Structure 1
Amino acid sequence: MNFLVNLLLRLVLLAVGLVFFASVAVAVAVLWLAWSLRMGWARLTGRPVSPFIMGIDPRKGFEMYRRAQQREAEPSRTPRADATRAHAPQGHPLQVTDVEPREPGR
Structure 2
Amino acid sequence: MRSGETDCAETVSNSVLKDLGKSISEKLRHIANLDMDVFMVDKTPYILEMNARFGGGYPFSHIAGVNLPKAIVNWLQNKDVDKSILTEKIGVFAHKDIEIVNMNKI
Q: Which TM-score bucket, shorter chain as reference?
A: under 0.3
Q: TM-score, normalised by structure 2?
A: 0.22
- Higher relative contact order, structure no. (Cα contacts within 8 Å, ≥ 6 residues apart): 2
Bigger radius of gyration among the two: 1
Q: More helix by proportion, 1 or 2?
A: 1
Q: TM-score, normalised by structure 1?
A: 0.22
